[in-house]
Structures are given as structure tokens and as C-alpha cells.
Amino acid sequence: MRALYIARRFAVFLLIVWLAASLNFFLPRLSGQDPVRTKLLAEAQLGGYVHAGIEDMVKEYNQKFGLDRPLWRQYLSYLGDTAQLDFNYSISNYPRTVRDLIAEALPWTVGLLGMTTLLSFGIGSFLGALLAWPGAPRWMRYVMPPLWALHAIPFFLLGLILMYLFAFQLRLLPIFGGYSPGASPGFNIRFVLDVMAHATLPALSIILVATGGWALGMRGMMVTTMGEDYVTFAEAKGLRASTIFLRYCVRNAILPQTTALALALGQILSGAVLVEVIFGYPGIGALLFQAIRENDHFLIQGIVFTVIVALGFTTFILDVLYPWLDPRISYQRT
Amino acid sequence: MLRYLKRNPSLTVGIGFLGVLVVFIAVGMILIDPEDARPLSAPALHPPSWAYPFGTDRQGRDLFAAMVVGTPLTLRIGFIAGILGVVIGTILAFVAGFYRGIVDTAIRGVADIGLTVPGLLILIIIAVSVRGGLTVNQMALVVASLAWLNPTRTIRSQVLTLRERGYVEVARLSGMNGPEIIFFEMIPNLLPYLGATLVNAVSAAILASIGLEVLGLGPLEAPTLGMTLYWVNFNAAIINGWWWWWMAPIVIILLVFLGLFFMTVGLDEIANPRLRRSI
Amino acid sequence: MNALRIEGLRVSFDHPLGVVRAVDDVSFALRPNERFGLVGESGSGKSTMALAIMRMIRPPGHIDGGDILLGDTNLSTLSGDAIRRTRLAGIAMVPQGSMNALNPVMRVGAQVADAMRDHGVQPRDIDQLMARVGLPAGTVEKYPHELSGGMKQRVCIAIAICLRPTVIIADEPTSALDVVVQRQVMRTLAVVQQDLNAAILLIGHDMGLMAQFVDRLGVMYAGRLVEIAPIAEIVRKPRHPYTEMLIASLPSMDHKDALRGIPGLAPLLRDLPSGCAFHPRCPKARDRCRAERPLPREIEGGVLAACHFA
């Protein structure tokens, strides 16, 4: 039962991987000509010090994706390369490979996104749960409306405002980048503090926006849960208010909240890309922005594939963990 | 109507915010020459003054004119994509929720998987592929290509609950066929809900279009709100202290999103009376 | 002394269209080890009364007055934590059979244990407790969705008796269970009640079930108690016209004619008829019934009725 459930979830994950690769292959070709080839040829004609390398790339590209080869063979070559995580060289950063660049940027994004998502989900759910509980603290009445209003605006817009206030006007925090220019990356206190200072504003613009949404969702779920029979019976059992709150209400209301989290990951990531762009944070989003500016197709495709697969994998993990949270699922339903 | 708005403050605030924008655009249209929204029509980097109430940008656009011309463009992208998304989503949702079976499994599967994928990335691939510069309308279509996912999912679940209601069963027993039940029994009951979904979809579409634009994939010639922010970012206007450049677009975008958000809350209250007192 | 005595209890709900009085000046008492039944139509206030006795009425409802005496403690004057500790330890509840009374994400054993722990009792012998209500060993490790309706109800009974309360309120404990399971659950309830020497307040609308189970019966109509009498007495000779019609509506071997219901509709609680609330449906109604509200009075030893003509 359990194995079947996991296998099925894994199949969905593989499906997502395949879809992401196919999207990368077919979408650019829909326009009739191959924009990758166009770009490569343009680059090759420019000449310059990377000239020789680009020529090699064109040669290899033509060998694999040349017009004389049938589309399905090109497609198979593409799938083969992708399966080996070979996304070719970065056109704009030759001779660095796309895989290298992504490997460098990915930890920054995973760190920023993991931390902000966990914090906003945790804080938001907690606030929402408290808010639904009778006798919620008075201060919440003043904290929540601004959070709800913030929740309606895009991450990066708040980012611009925060950047102006805290980095430009008050000069409290660094305005740009992932660490100070000239700092020597390494695992020492100074560098870690420097990185944290640089991450504060990007993280705040995500947390302040996302928290209100989770609070709103959790409050709704709590109100529904508190009307359930088992909560009434729990009260009749003479349980302490804290037991009823945590083990009966929150414990059940968090289930649909978690499902919503899995569904929201894509949206959160889309928003975070823009936050990275405006703060010049050295993650996937900023790398993507650079790739778009330079029209670096290999890099764009590599990033899109990696991110979709990473998110698909996270969803897969959440799916596998979910029955542990809700025993009713018990691995049988899809 | 007016009396109802009094009881639904969220809807009133939402409509109010958008109303302010409409008035701004209408009055602006009278005052400005749309040509001033183009580069080189004014001195560069001029702070707000009587001649240029919102200031000018580095390329010499009159930002007041740019806002008056650009806001409706951004709204247009949102509405085209949002409406297309909800129409397609509604059709798919009814097909899936009403006829069930393998069709339902397929539609639900596609929507579910599509939603776990970050939409912006797919849009980027599409936008990069059709290079050569998007027009505003093409932009709307690109955004619409993913705008149906969320409406499909949410409306489908509504259809499923509606199916179980007594009056749908009665209509079926009285010999109405599928389309008749959908149009005469289910859609009227879903209208407030469809309204809320539409407003949500418009909001999501505007967000997506601004995202693409900030990344530099928008219509480079058009002064949409997102393109203005692209130039703000491109010229590092914040670090350089050109505050007026980003102030106007940010305030307008805030009004748009807050207005749409309060409208959804208000419409939700109509669609789902049990949630009243929600804010 | 009585196990539980209710004196002049009044509960009402605030409603946009006016105040709804759900329990209106109700008094009765349960003797130790007694099984007392309370019947009435839905909306007659019997379930509200169960919640009121547990002091669990939530806004917009509120208790307007009256005393709830459990032994010699007055529950209506207890505050916060004291009333919480009295629940389950002094007075326990068996929920409706149709309810999802168990937390779906907790093993049932843990749901017994947390009740004990929150009353300062070290959880132990939960397996024995389960055996006493007729549940197989290993039930403690199960989740509610793995149990049948009857088993879940036994778990609820096990929880109700785990701290040996002196009063158990059972609010339609067998609703939504099929007849065979219904009888088993009632038998379990009877057995544990004997064990504990507890008094039971059984709430329901099924006269047949009541007749088999309880010693004395109270009849509620529109939030008011209209008759109290020993069960044999009430079946033999109902004093209130409403009770009379309830008994007459029971299917029986003697008269094979069509089932008779009670004509008319239950009144709206927020808009009660003047005088005796039952008068619009009562065949014996006179002018006096429209004008003057009859109070419960003792007709003969142990029989009370609230009717001018009883």
C-alpha cells in the first residue's frame, strides 16, 4: 500500500520532469525557427576572444539539433542531455557551463526561499490560529489588518519600498548583492553576518507579504475546525484550553494549510525571482535575469528545468510526508 | 445597491480604489498629450513640478503622461488574460465536474500539475521564444496561456458541491439535459463565485505581466506600469535617489492590487455568506 | 442527597430577530444510580440543556439563571478552571452517535490518555478500560477511521467513565447506529453505570428506547418541562396532553390502526404562543390555556405535570 502510494507520487514527479524538458525543447521551436541557433550564429559572427569556443558550440549544436536531423532524433538527444543534467555551456559566460552556474546560485535561493517560506508559514499559521481562538490578544487587532493589506501586493513591490526606506534613506542595511564586495567567502562569523545582513531585506519583503495570507487561510480553517464535534467533545472531556487548542484545533486545521502550501510553492518562487532581481541577490532569479538580458538560451532553459524539477521534488517529499500528518490518507488514495 | 455596499465595506473600498484610478485616467487623458509618454519628449530626470507633476525619467518621458497611458495598458493585459482564463477555466471545470470520469481525471491532473510549476518560468520560456518584442495584446495572450489553471481548479470543486445539491437533482429528474442544467441552474448560482474568481484571475494576470516586464520581457516601447519599473531597476533609480520615478508606478500598482483584493473579499462575502465578518 | 439537581435553569440565544429562549425555567433532580430520561422533539431544548449542565453554552447563547447542583457543588457559580476539572471527573458526557466525537488524527488511546492527564491522573490501564466497554485488545492503537460506529461510541463511553464520574449525560448516544448495535451500546452503558453507581441522564426522542432503559422520564416541550413521572406510570397514565399524544403515536401490538402523529408544528422558540405553549396543538385547550402559563405541579406521589387540567 505504502510502496504503491510512493511509487504513484514518484511517477507524477517523473511526469513533471519530462514535461519540463519537453517544454524547453518544443516551445522555442514553435515559432518556426530555432531562436537558439539564431542567437548562437549571431554570437559566432560577433567574433572576439570567445570566438573559437562559440564556433565549437555551433558545430556541436548543429550535430545534435541540425535541421537535417528529424525532430524526434533532436528531441531524443535533448532528453538524453537533460537526463545527464548537461545543459551545455552558458553562451554569455563561456567557457563556464550552465550546470556550474546553477550549482553556484541554487544554494542562495534555496536558503532564502526555505527560510522565508518556513517562517511566514509558521508565523502566519500561528497568528491565524490565535486569531480564531476566543480571547485573542488585543494587539492582534492592530497587527492583522496591515498584514492582510500587505498580502495583496507583490513581493518585489514591497522590496522596492523597503529598499528605499532601510537601505537608501536610513542606511541600516546593505542595498544590493548577497555579500559585501571584497568580503572573502568562507565559513567565518564575519562573512556569515554579512550574508545575513544582505539577506534581511529580501527575506523581509517575502515574509511580510506571505504571512498575512497564511494567517487568513489558517483563521478560516480554525473556525471550521472549532465547529467540529470532536472539539465540542474535547471540551466536555474537561481538557485544558491549551490541549484543545494545540492537539485538537491546530493539529487538524494545519492539514488543509499544508496542502495549500504545496500548491503555493510555484507562486512563491515566481515572486522570489523578482525579489532577487531587484536586490541583485546572487540566486537563481538574478542569474535568470542576467540570462534573459544576454539572451542566453542555454542558461534560461537550464534554470527553468532545474527549478521546475526542484519544486516537483519538494512537492513529492511533501506528498510522501502528508499521510504521516493525516493518518486517514494512509497511503491508499492518490 | 448603494445600501448593499454600505453593508459590504470591503467591496466598497475595492470599487473605490479602482474608481480613483479610472478618474485619474479619465482626467489625465484630457490633460496630457499621449506623445509625452514617449522618450525625449521632456527634459530628463526632472523632479515633480507644475509642468511635470510626476517628474520625468532618464529617457525624458513625462511620467504623468506615462502613467495615464500605461495604467490602462496594464489593466488591459490583466482583463484580457483574466477573462480568457476564467472563460476557459469555467468551460473545463464544468466539463470535468459535470461529466466526471476520465475527462475529469485528465483535466484535474493537468491543472494540478500545472499549478505546482512556477508560472512565471513557463511564461519566460514562451516570451523568450517569441522574441522580437511582444505587443501589449500578445503579452495578454502569453499570460492567458496559464491563467486558466487556477480558475479550473477552484470552479471545478464548486461544481462538484453544486452537483450534490437538491435542486440540481430535481432538474435532472425533471428531464433537463446537461447544458440546460449548467446554464439555467448552476451558472446563476455560481455567479458571485465566478465574479470573485474573475477578479482573482485579473489580479494574478496583472502580477504575472508585471513580473515578465520587470524581467525585461515586456513590450519595450509601451509605458506599462511594469515596463516603467523595469527602467527604474535598469537605471538603479532608488540608489540614485530619483524617488519620483518609482513613486508613481508603485502607488498605482498598490491601488490596483489592493482594490482587486478588497473586491475579492467583498465578492467572497456574497458568494459565501457563512464567511461574513471575515475582515 | 441528589446526584444532580437542576433548579430554575434558563438558557437563551441572541438572534437578530430577537432573543430565543431554548430552556425556560426547568427544574428536576437525578437520584444517585438513577436512570433519568428526557424526551422531546428536536428544538425542544433537550440538547441545549445537556450543554448547559456542562456549562458549555457558547455565545451567542448564555445561561440566564438557575442553579446546577452536582452533589453539593453548585456548578453555576464555579469559574474557569474549576468547572473544567469538574467535567469528566464529576459529570461526563457521551456524545450523539452521529457525531465525529473523536479527533481523526489521534489514536484513540491517546484520546483517553489526554483526558486523564489534563485531570492530573497518570494515564494507565487504558487497555482494561477498553475491555470494560467490550472493545478488543489493540483498540488503543487504532485511529477513529479504522473503527465502526458502534466501536467509536464505545470508545466515547470508555472516555466518559475513565474518571468514575457520579453523573453521565448521554445525548442520543445511539443516533445513526443500526438497531442491533444500538442495543449493544445501550447494554454497555447500563453495565458501566452499574459498575460506577453513577446516575444517567439519557436524552433522546425515542420513546421506545426510553421505556426500556430509564427509571423516570421527563418530557420537554418548547424549552419547558411539561411532565415528570416514573416510566411505568407515564406509559400507563400520561397526565399532560402532549405526553399522551407522544405515547399514542408509538406503534403498538394492541391497536393496529395507522400510525398517528401529533398534528401541527413545533412552535418557533423565538415566538412562543401565550399561556401554555402547547395550546395551539392541544385538543383540550380552553381559554385559560391561552391566557395563563401552567407551572409544573405534583399531581400525585412522584408525578408532576404542567397542565391546568391534569
**In this structure, is residue B150 part of a structural domain?**
yes
Radius of gyration of chain C (CA): 20
User: What range does the domain containing B99 cover?
Assistant: 72-221+252-272
What mean pLDDT comes out for the span C127-148? 91
**pLDDT of A172 over the 90 cut:** no
Pick the residue from chain A with its C-alpha nearest to B115: A263
Least confident among A79-93, B111-125, C128-142, C184-198: A79-93
Window 55-74 of A, Cβ < 8 Å to C: none
Q: Is the CB of B239 inside 8 Å of chain A's CB atoms? A: yes
Confidence category of residue A14, pLDDT binned at 50, 70, 90? very high
What's the rounded Cα separation, in Å, for the pair B217 and C239? 86
The residues that bridge with A33 in the sheet, in sequence order, are none
What's the rounded Cα separation, in Å, for the pair A83 and A152? 39
Q: Which three cell numbers stand for residue A93?
A: 559566460
Instruction: Provide CB contacts within 8 A for A65, sequence distance 6+.
Output: A34, A36, A37, A74, A77, A78
**In this structure, is residue B267 part of a structural domain?**
yes
Q: Between helices C179-196 and C149-161, what is the axis angle to 10°?
A: 10
- Helix/strand/coil for A300: helix
Q: CB–CB of C44/C26 below 8 Å? A: no
Run of H or E residues at C221 = strand C216-221
The pLDDT of residue C236? 87
Where residue A328 falls (left for φ over 0; alpha for ψ -120 to 50; beta otherwise) is alpha
Nearest one of B22, B146, B215 to A154, comparing CA atoms: B215
Q: Which three cell numbers stand for residue B143?
A: 499570460
Pick the residue from chain A with its C-alpha nearest to C168: A236
Contact A233 C156 (CB under 8 A): yes
Instruction: Provide CB contacts within 8 A for B271, sequence distance 6+.
Output: B192, B193, B195, B196
**pLDDT of A65 over the 80 cut:** no
**In this structure, is residue B15 part of a structural domain?**
no
Nearest one of B240, B238, B233, B239 to B216, comparing CA atoms: B233
Chains A and C touch (3+ CB pairs under 8 A): yes
- Helix/strand/coil for B175: coil
What mean pLDDT comes out for the span C48-75? 89
**In this structure, is residue B2 part of a structural domain?**
no
Rounded to 5°, the CA angle B32-B37-B42 comes to 90
CA distance A274 to chain B (A): 7
- Helix/strand/coil for C165: coil
The pLDDT of residue B279? 35
Q: CATH second-level architecture of A112-281?
A: Orthogonal Bundle (1.10)
The residues that bridge with C10 in the sheet, in sequence order, are C65
Instruction: Please list, residue by residue across C219-238, b when 16 or more beta carbons sit within 10 angstroms of its beta carbon and e when fewer do.
Output: bbbbbbbbbbbebebbbeeb
Window 276-295 of A, Cβ < 8 Å to B: 277-278, 288-289, 292-293, 295
Q: CB–CB of C2/C166 below 8 Å? A: no
Q: Which of B118, B129, B246 shows the shortest C-beta gap to A160?
A: B246
Instruction: Provide CB contacts within 8 A for C151, sequence distance 6+.
Output: C135, C139
The pLDDT of residue B131? 59
Q: Is the CB of B206 inside 8 Å of chain A's CB atoms? A: no
What's the rounded Cα separation, in Å, for the pair B271 and B63? 40
The pLDDT of residue B278? 38
Question: Which residue did the predictor score with more confidence, A187 or C137?
Answer: C137
The residues that bridge with C14 in the sheet, in sequence order, are C19
Q: Which three cell numbers stand for residue A179?
A: 555579500
Q: pLDDT of C265-308, one tens digit each?
A: 777 777 788 888 888 888 888 888 888 888 888 888 888 988 88
Running DSSP on this structure, what letter comes out for residue B185?
I
Run of H or E residues at C298 = strand C297-300
What's the rounded Cα separation, in Å, for the pair C166 and B201? 59
Question: Which residue did the predictor score with more confidence, A159 or A181?
Answer: A159
Question: Which residue did the predictor score with more confidence, C262 or C126?
Answer: C126
CA distance B120 to chain A (A): 5
Running DSSP on this structure, what letter comes out for residue C120?
T
Q: pLDDT of A187-203, one tens digit each?
A: 788 888 888 999 999 99
The pLDDT of residue C260? 62
What is the residue-level pLDDT of chain B in tens, covering all 279 positions?
677 777 788 899 999 999 999 999 999 999 888 888 888 888 888 889 888 889 888 888 899 999 999 999 999 999 999 999 999 999 999 998 877 889 999 998 888 888 888 889 988 988 888 756 688 888 999 999 999 999 999 999 888 888 777 777 788 778 788 788 888 888 888 888 899 899 999 999 999 999 999 998 888 888 999 999 999 999 988 888 899 999 999 999 999 999 999 998 888 888 776 554 433
Contacts of B205 in chain A (CB under 8 A): none
The percent of residues in chain C predicted with pLDDT above 70, rounded, is 96
pTM of the model: 0.88
**In this structure, is residue B117 part of a structural domain?**
yes
Contact C87 A228 (CB under 8 A): no
Q: pLDDT of C225-235, one tens digit each?
A: 899 999 988 88
Nearest one of B239, C163, B216, B241 to B229, comparing CA atoms: B216
Q: Based on the number of CB atoms within 10 Å of its own CB, is B179 exposed (0-12), middle (13-18) or buried (19 or more)?
A: exposed
Contact C105 A243 (CB under 8 A): no
CA distance A189 to chain B (A): 28
Rounded to 5°, the CA angle C119-C121-C127 comes to 115
Q: Is the dihedral of CA A140, A119, A281, A293 positive or negative?
A: negative
| Other C-beta atoms lying within 10 Å of the C-beta of residue C127 | 14
Highest mean pLDDT among A23-32, A109-118, B163-172: A109-118
The pLDDT of residue A241? 92
Q: Is the CB of B126 inside 8 Å of chain A's CB atoms? A: yes
Distances (CA, A) of C47 to A3, A234, C231: 46, 17, 21
**pLDDT of A331 over the 60 cut:** no
Window 37-96 of C, Cβ < 8 Å to A: 54, 56, 84-89, 92-93, 95-96
The residues that bridge with C94 in the sheet, in sequence order, are C170
Running DSSP on this structure, what letter comes out for residue A89?
B
Contact C84 A238 (CB under 8 A): yes
Give the count of Cβ contacts less than 8 A between chain A and B: 137
Q: How many CA atoms lie within 13 A of B239 on its CB side?
A: 11
**In this structure, is residue B85 part of a structural domain?**
yes
Confidence category of residue A330, pLDDT binned at 50, 70, 90? low
CA distance C107 to chain A (A): 9
C180-183's contacts with Cβ under 8 Å and 24+ in sequence apart are C181/C148, C181/C149, C181/C150, C182/C97, C182/C209
**What CATH number should be reported for the domain holding residue B104?**
1.10.3720.10
Contacts of B125 in chain A (CB under 8 A): 23-24, 27-28, 300-301, 304
What's the rounded Cα separation, in Å, for the pair C53 and C252? 34
Kindly compute the dihedral angle of the four CA atoms of residues C261, C264, C268, C274, in this order, to the nearest 10 degrees. Answer: -120
Q: Is the CB of B258 inside 8 Å of chain A's CB atoms? A: yes
**Is the complex ipTM higher than 0.85?**
yes
Pick the residue from chain A with its C-alpha nearest to C161: A237
Window 132-161 of C, Cβ < 8 Å to A: 143, 145, 156, 159
CA diameter of chain C: 64
Contacts of C102 in chain A (CB under 8 A): 230, 233
Q: Which three cell numbers stand for residue A246?
A: 494545540
**In this structure, is residue B147 part of a structural domain?**
yes
Q: Which three cell numbers stand for residue A113?
A: 526561499
Q: CB–CB of C175/C99 below 8 Å? A: no
The pLDDT of residue B276? 44
The pLDDT of residue A334? 40
Q: Is the CB of A297 inside 8 Å of chain B's CB atoms? A: yes
Q: CB–CB of A310/A20 below 8 Å? A: no
Q: Is the CB of C179 inside 8 Å of chain A's CB atoms? A: no
Give the count of Cβ contacts less than 8 A between chain A and C: 78
Domain map of chain A by residue range?
Answer: 112-281
**pLDDT of A285 over the 90 cut:** yes
Nearest one of C92, C108, C89 to C100, comparing CA atoms: C108
Nearest one of C127, C196, C125, C205 to C160, comparing CA atoms: C196
What mean pLDDT comes out for the span A299-308? 92
Phi, psi of B261 (to 5 degrees): -65, -45
| Other C-beta atoms lying within 10 Å of the C-beta of residue A5 | 19
Running DSSP on this structure, what letter comes out for residue C276?
S
Contact C106 A252 (CB under 8 A): no
Nearest one of C127, C115, C177, C171 to C151, comparing CA atoms: C177
What's the rounded Cα separation, in Å, for the pair A179 and A130? 37
Q: Which of C95, C105, C114 shows the shortest C-beta gap to A326?
A: C105
CA distance A32 to chain B (A): 10
Q: How many CA atoms lie within 13 A of B1 on its CB side?
A: 1
The pLDDT of residue B186? 83
- Count of domains in chain B? 1
